[in-house]
Structure 1
Amino acid sequence: MRQCLKSTYYKNTMTRNYLIILFLSLSIPLFAQKFEKAKNGKSFDCVILIHGFLRSSKQLKNMGDYLTDNNLLVFYVDYPSRSNTIQEVSKSYLSPIVQNNCISKFNKIHFVTHSAGGIVLRHFLKENKIKRLGRVVMLAPPNKGSEIADFLSGYNFVNTLLGPILMQLKTDNSSFVNNIGTPNFELGIIMGDSSNDPISSMIIPGDDDGKVSIENSKLNSMKEFLLVDRTHTFIMDGVEVQKATLQFIKTGTFK
């Protein structure tokens, strides 16, 4: 009896190991073939994701996974937002990703940004011309600044704590964000109208997402604008937001 059980165990183990080896032998060549096509720019587009102020690329992981599942190769820009200006982030963190991973390797280079990541991208594309530039989706961007930045930057210790980007996101006409210029790329903006930060919403005039007013997210040059029932912090995790982002990248419309 014991010998029989032992024999059955070994058979089951061998069968399981065989299936694992078979799966790997089939999947690895397919993945390699897919990546090789992507490197040659024959079948795939590149999407670069840029996180916002006081955030990291982890906040965009769900969005990145969704785009990856839909045959887009995703790269993340990770930067320390409290110790760099928008110009420094653009030059030292975004530019290497574009140059080393996407230029000349893909059909198109698209961008998806969250919050201040959109401002980083606006500066980068003003300073750099990309021949294969695709489409851009900005999630909750403070394109005309944020009243929260106005309020917080009034305290010296906060400026010291949060770094130079805070001042650059102010709403006054002389602020950095209001002097970048008009974007000339194909742009779709997705903005939330829900807030889980009542104190910030009291500071912000009009409807907002808890950090940015709906009006201040807009640009005259945007191709399309989509309003969703999401907060600023978690807008990228909305299923409808992920679907709309992919739709715009593929077709140039949220519809």
Structure 2
Amino acid sequence: MTKKQVWTLTKAFFYIITGFYLVITVVFHNLLPTSDVTFTAIRHRPKPHEDNGQCVILMHGAFSKESMLEPLANAFYKKGYWVLSANYAWNRYTTDQLSFYTSKMARTQCSNRLTHFVVQSSAVILLRHMLEHHPIPNEIGKVVMISPLIKGSELVSDFSWIPGFKKSLGLSIAEMGQDKHDLPAKFSPQFPYPTGAIMGIRSFNPLTSVILPGIDDGLISQISAVAPFYKDSITILDTYTFLPSNQDVIRQTLQFVESGSFDHVLPQKIVLPNTSNQPKGFLQSKPDGATRPSR
């Protein structure tokens, strides 16, 4: 048996195991209690003398919770921002329903404030759908995308052959594959707001990483995260799960919202051992910690 045949069989084995792993994971998440679309705004309302008159809306990705973005919420609160942290039942609503509810709550809670967005993973698709189909009257400020799912998920498309797989994902996630009929393929390649992207480059999940092309954070590949409209972008040595609570991510998110760019001068805890297959559009680090655009 040749090396190529061995690799083909090995990859096929991982595909099968990963498929079952994803099905079990999805079923487990669906068994957990879910809540309707809510915004927790009161506990993140700054004191009158600290209020800077701006609003930040945090939107978590699929199979995540509002609590994952709590460190970011606290950081913005301390800076005087009115913070809304959305909590979705991803498996119970379509993307259009979620974007409608999100838009309604944003208009109500943020009033006439300059409004920024910090979105994780699949919430990128939700935000783009909302601004296109259910726009808010607020002036939009900066947008920070963490582990951005721009082109859709390879995992959703690659395992759609499994009977009932897409159905088990829930109404909204099933729309976020990479096929031409999925939502990501319907968006314009442009996004008219100053946007910064943060991508993780560490994975502890060999089952998904063997399927995802190139560098990934365990769930999102950099290839699916690249977009032409980024004003700035950076990579952080951490996984999908822990990026939102990573202190570098929190600092860089605040930096972008306040200045429109990331901090490429102060040392970063970033290591990128192999940049040969890193897609354009993200930043890679030099050994001394300074960053430069990928070539």
Calculate the TM-score normalised by the size of structure 1: 0.80
Aligned-pair CA distance for 1:226: 0.8
Q: What letter matches 1:119 in structure 2?
A: I
Quick one: distance in 2 between partners of 1:85 and 1:180? 17
CA contact (8 A) 1:52 1:115 kept: yes
Q: How does 1:59-98 map to 2 (within 5 A)?
A: 59-92=68-101, 94-98=102-106
Q: How far is 1:48 from its partner?
A: 0.3
Pick the aligned partner of 1:111 from 103, 106, 117: 117
**AA paired with 2:104?**
P
Q: Does 2:216 align with 1:201?
A: no
Maintained 8 Å contact 2:117/2:144: yes
Give 1:126's match in structure 2, choosing from 123, 132, 137.
132
Q: What's the secondary structure of 2:216's corresponding residue?
A: coil
- Sequence identity (%): 28
Aligned partners of 2:55 and 2:110 also within 8 Å: yes
For residues 78 and 64 of structure 1, the distance between their equivalents in structure 2, rounded to whole angstroms, comes to 13
| CA contact 2:155–2:212 (8 Å) conserved in 1 | yes
How far apart, in 2, do the equivalents of 1:136 and 1:218 lie? Answer: 15
Q: For residues 135-189 of structure 1, give each alpha carbon's deviation from its aligned partner in whole angstroms, at most 9, with x where no partner exists.
A: 0001001100111111333223222222122332212333211212221111111
Residue 181 of structure 2 corresponds to residue 174 of structure 1: yes
What is the number of equivalent residue pairs in this alignment? Answer: 216
User: Unmatched 5+ residue regions in structure 2?
Assistant: 1-45, 264-295
Give the drift of 1:131. 4.4
Superposition pairs for residues 141-180 of structure 1, below 5 Å? 141-180=148-187
The DSSP-based 3-state class of the residue aligned with 1:207 is: coil
Q: Could you say which residue in structure 2 is the equivalent of 1:242? A: 250
> How well do the aligned residues superpose, as a CA RMSD in angstroms?
1.6
Of residues 29, 36, 53 in structure 2, which corresponds to 1:44? Answer: 53
Secondary structure in 2 aligned to 1:150? helix
SS in 1 for 2:256: helix
Q: Match of 2:129, as an amino acid?
A: H
Displacement after TM superposition at 1:243 (Å): 0.3
Secondary structure of 1:119's aligned partner? helix
Gaps in structure 1 of 5+ consecutive residues: 1-30
Could you say which residue in structure 1 is the equivalent of 2:260?
A: 252
CA contact (8 A) 1:143 1:178 kept: no
**8 A Cα contact 1:171 1:178, kept in partner:** yes
Query: Residue 148 of structure 1 aligns to a residue in which SS?
Result: helix
Q: Which amino acid letter does the alignment assign opposite residue 160 of structure 1? A: K
CA distance in 2, matches of 1:133, 1:219: 19
The more displaced of 134-143 and 210-219 is: 210-219
Q: What secondary structure, in the 3-state scheme, does the structure 1 residue paired with 2:48 have?
A: helix
Cα distance in 1 for partners of 2:194, 2:168 equals 35
| Residues 77 and 97, structure 1, Cα contact 8 Å, conserved in 2 | no
Aligned mates of 2:231, 2:258 — CA distance in 1: 14
Q: Distance in 1 between matches of 2:67 and 2:74?
A: 11
Which of 236, 240, 243 is the matching residue for 1:228? 236
What per-residue deviation string (whole Å, max 9, x for no partner) do you get for residues 31-61 of structure 1? 65337xx4xxxx3210000011122211111
Structure with the bigger percentage of helix: 1
Conservation of the 8 A alpha-carbon contact between 2:107 and 2:136: no
CA distance in 1 between partners of 2:87 and 2:161 (Å): 28
Shift of 1:117: 0.9
Rounded Cα–Cα distance in structure 1 between residues aligned with 2:151 and 2:121: 12
Tell me which amino acid in the other structure corresponds to 2:54. D
Cα shift at 1:129? 5.0
Alignment partners' CA distance in 2, 1:119 and 1:80: 15
Q: Could you tell me which residue of structure 1 aligns to residue 48 of structure 2? A: 33
